[in-house]
Chains A and B, each alone.
Chain A
Amino acid sequence: MTNYGLVIDQERCIGCHSCAMSCKQENNVPMGQAWNRVLTVGGDHIDTPEGSYPEDGDDGTLEMSYQPTACQHCENAPCVKVCPVNATYKREDGIVEIDYDKCIGCRYCMAACPYNARVFNWDEPQHRPEEGTGDVEERPQGVVEKCTFCSHRVEEGLDPACVVNCPADARIFGDLDDDGSTVSKYVAEYDTNRLLDEKGTDPKTYYIQGEMSPGRPWKGKELESELDEQPTPEEADDPDSEESMRRATADAVWGDD
């Protein structure tokens, strides 16, 4: 069985908000709403660190990282269990999705979601440009909406928009049930944590902290499972490949990972 999941490498994330912007664009997310947002883990405001500046010969304690946050596509999703009319449901492939024709707008799912990943269309949704953007139909007033892992792209064999558009290779999407997929390997290899793990929701979004991963050795915008050849570390090391060139540049900027 397919069970899609996402790995976000917080060591690689540069806080550029490309994932949030491409999500908004691709999914036609209304003005004033965000399905995907990049939070600053640090000070009280966006892009501010916590701690103190190095002054008077002291070592500074400044600390800041970014936490891109959207629907975690929980295995034990409280939003699915509370929906009175089966509008929110879990697909065979593990993606938690909303049937916008069924949703009655009771917002019990918003109360249930510990991550505040869901938004409600309080009024007639506004789009810029007015005809909307991206490849997803707009949702009407009075329903709840949220991240779908870009299921419309996944069904076409494409990675979610936020994954493809991450310039830092910090987002890796794939099948957690496939032991050979990059997501499965990273979950096994790296120090990962899941948001609010203690709540028992069993989320399928994993955050890498500590050691930086090499991202995913890209072949294109396709899902890994759609590729003719599986990407391998050896390939990534091929000095002539475009991928390796990109990686080498990244290494020059970020140092040896």
Chain B
Amino acid sequence: MSGEVTERSATSTVRSPVVSSFGTVSKVWLGHLGVLLVAGLGAWAYQLQQGLVVTGMRNVFSWGLYIMLFVMFVGLSAGGLIISSAPKFFHSDRYEGFARLGVLVSLACIIVAGLLILPDIGRPERLYQFFTSPDFRSPMVWDFGIVVLYGVLNVWYLWLLTRRDLAARGSRLAFGAEDTQAGRERDRTLLFWTAAVALPTAVMLHSVTGWIFATQVGRGDWFSPLVAPVFIAKALVSGLGLLLVVSILADRYTGFDADRDELTSLGKMLGIFLAFHVVYLLAAERLPHAWADHFGFWAITSEFLIGDSIYFWLWTGVGGAVPLVLLATPQLRKRLSVIFVAGVLAVFGTLFEGIRLVFTGYESVNIDAAPGISLGGEYAGVTTDIWATTGVYTPTVIELVVTAGIVAVGALIVTVGLRYVPLQRQTEQERYAADSGGGGCD
């Protein structure tokens, strides 16, 4: 391995962006994203003017799509950073080819997550209060801090990974960094330390986001110490799933070259994460309640095994069992199409896990005597009066358009990154095979 390092330094393989220029297809794609972005801004402006009454949220069900997707995108932002920093922390070159693309996707996702909070806020012009009058008891303040830190860390990480290549290409994005052998050596040390900071930051990000819910005594199943570990598992599943999906798409449509063996290896890892998340943690969460609430063996077993809502089945079935079977079957999991489908389904599943989490908090209320709770606005759903004893929620078109606009920002970041950030993996093969044992030489 040390020989390889020398060789690479000598030849100094400079990486380049995987999209050399925006062709017609790219421009059409960018145009679509631009339209979504403009539509989203328009919808947000309309919502600001009319108030959140144009959403499906009301007094009982007071958080909706924005928060559900915030939770999802925080989870999605995990994949790239963990896949790139975990090997670096252990001085391994494994999955090196995915590191840059991964961090780019992480960055896009955490930006989308942060932006999703904006339309959920009733008076966004007062957000400066986070700085002038913070209450450090609030998990939302913790989360605000960690999301910002995580975003900054991603920017720094992506720049550190690519600045020598940017310098070699004469890009202004190098910000004065020079492409020297000593510089590249120093960056390897810096990358190790960045990884050492990034890993605990990622763990904190997902835990704190979980604690926003897990600290609340008034919202049913939210109040569970398992929520933070579940958020970690969810982040591993959805983050890795998204990274696989984006890598395969980039491999297909751009100059990005995803190593097949590493894709298969990451696919297996996704299977392990899925098993831990959807099988183990879910069982660990449900068994004690099922056991305590029922007397007979079959009553306990059926309560334990049977789900509660459509969201549960979309998550555990379509987004859990199916990709798990795909990735567990040796004949299937080597196929690129299977890895792609499994990644898509894993992301799809965690979307519905987040939706289900919010629903379990708001669907039923603790004090549900008639007439109930005033909804605070003309409700557009099935009920007509101002009172409700249960929470009902369907996102409105406005919410969907605003959300699509924000997700388009993420897609724009990735697309522009593919064009300007040197993501091209190096052509040397089998380097990952040397990671065990030879780690110290880096």
Contact = CB atoms under 8 A, between A and B. Distances in A.
A104 B361 contact: no
A201 B366 CA distance: 14
Interface stretch (B50-58, B179-187, B336-344, B420-428): B50-58
Interface stretch (B230-238, B348-356, B371-379): B371-379
B43 to A, nearest CB: 16
Contacts of A120: 52, 59, 62, 122, 376
Contacts of B367: 39, 67, 69, 115-116, 195-196
Interface in B345-396: 361, 365-367, 369-378, 386
A218 interface: no
A85 interface: yes
A200 B376 contact: no
Interface residues of A, number: 55
Contacts of B144: 84
Given A32-B375, A120-B376, A40 B370 contact: yes
A185 to B, nearest CB: 27
Contacts of B51: 121-124, 141-142
Nearest to B386: A32
A106 B370 contact: no
A122 B61 CA distance: 12
A40 B368 CA distance: 10
A55 B57 CA distance: 45
B122 A196 contact: no
A103 B123 contact: yes
Given A39-B371, A199-B218, A84 B141 contact: yes
Overall SS of chain A's interface: loop
Interface stretch (B6-14, B84-92, B128-136): B128-136
Interface in B95-127: 120-124, 126-127
Interface in B188-230: 212, 215-219
A85 B123 CA distance: 12
Contacts of B369: 39-42, 67
A225 B314 CA distance: 60
A105 B370 contact: no
Contacts of A30: 376
A195 B367 CA distance: 9
Interface in A96-140: 102-108, 110-116, 118-124, 140
Contact of B135 (A42, A46, A83): A83
B217 A114 contact: yes
Contacts of B375: 32
B138 interface: yes
A108 B140 contact: yes
B376 A32 contact: yes
B58 to A, nearest CB: 7
Nearest to A89: B135
A104 B121 contact: yes
Contacts of B365: 116
Interface of A: 30, 32-34, 37, 39-46, 48, 67, 69, 78, 81-87, 102-108, 110-116, 118-124, 140-144, 195-196, 199-201
23 contacts: A32-B374, A32-B378, A33-B59, A39-B371, A41-B369, A43-B370, A82-B137, A82-B215, A84-B144, A85-B129, A87-B129, A87-B133, A102-B133, A106-B140, A111-B63, A115-B367, A116-B367, A120-B376, A122-B53, A122-B376, A124-B51, A141-B51, A142-B52
